[in-house]
Amino acid sequence: AQSVAQPEDQVNVAEGNPLTVKCTYSVSGNPYLFWYVQYPNRGLQFLLKYITGDNLVKGSYGFEAEFNKSQTSFHLKKPSALVSDSALYFCAVKTPGGYQKVTFGTGTKLQVIP
Amino acid sequence: DSGVTQTPKHLITATGQRVTLRCSPRSGDLSVYWYQQSLDQGLQFLIQYYNGEERAKGNILERFSAQQFPDLHSELNLSSLELGDSALYFCASSATGGANEKLFFGSGTQLSVL
């Protein structure tokens, strides 16, 4: 069975400071990992994904994520937070092969303080 | 705009009733997913279709059913509704349902069961 954990319900960061939203996963085999963002009253939007290759993945809106196999983590990062980054962030995992569902974490609310 | 269309945006109904939620996937996408989002359960995968056939099943209640039609639109039917079914229901689509594909989400249908 696959699972993903987002240990923080909320992360507060001052505008201009670096931000990190944490995600750890559990799968059998190599994972496909994703980050999505949800703004109020909107559907989820894709930010970035890790499939294979370079452990540092760059995505939309200046976000990046680092895949760490030994720590089974895929933390989302941004060097300088914007107030407009305030939203709900979801980490997701899927195992390749077969008809596996995408499993989402519980979400982390990011609040960027002006 | 993700290209995924969900109707209606809001639905208010009473316990015991039956409703149908509709989803039109992004042009060219063959795979459709349904998710339920609630405050206490997070984002729960319900079911996935690929080109008209059921591909994966998640935490979908027996009172719920879905199908994907030849024109690739999908409907989620919820019957014998209970108060606990109140949630935001999302449809998502992807090109072929492959494990490494990102999902495109609609804006959701907010269901309120009174």
Q: How far is the C-alpha of A35 from the C-alpha of A27, rounded, in Å? A: 16
Nearest CA in chain A to B99: A96
pLDDT for A24:
97
pLDDT above 70: percentage of residues in chain B: 100
Q: Residues of B near A (CB-CB distance < 8 A)?
A: 2, 4, 33, 35, 42-43, 45, 48, 55-56, 58, 90, 92, 97, 99-100, 102-108
Report the C-alpha dihedral over residues A7, A9, A14, A17, rounded to 10 degrees: 30
pLDDT top residue among B56 and B41: B56
pLDDT at B113 over 90: yes
DSSP structural state of residue A2? -
Contacts of B103 in chain A (CB under 8 A): 36, 44, 46, 102
pLDDT at B7: 97
Residues of chain A with pLDDT under 70: 97-100
pLDDT at B98: 80
pLDDT value for A97: 66
Q: What is the mean pLDDT of residues B86-95?
A: 95
Question: What integer is the mean pLDDT of B36-63?
Answer: 90
DSSP bridge partners of B31 = B50, B94
Mean predicted lDDT score pLDDT of chain B: 94
Decide: B35 and B99 in contact? Cβ < 8 Å.
Answer: no
Do residues A13 and A114 lie in contact, with contact meaning Cβ atoms separated by under 8 Å?
Answer: no
Greater pLDDT, B98 or A105 = A105
Per CB-CB distance under 8 Å, the chain B contacts of A43 are: 2, 4, 90, 92, 105-108
Task: Please answer whether residues A36 and A21 qualify as being in contact, where contact means their C-beta atoms are separated by less than 8 angstroms.
Answer: no
Separation of first and last alpha carbons in chain A: 41
What are the beta bridge partners of residue A87?
Answer: A110
Does the beta-carbon distance from A46 to B103 stay under 8 Å? yes
CA distance A9 to A44: 17
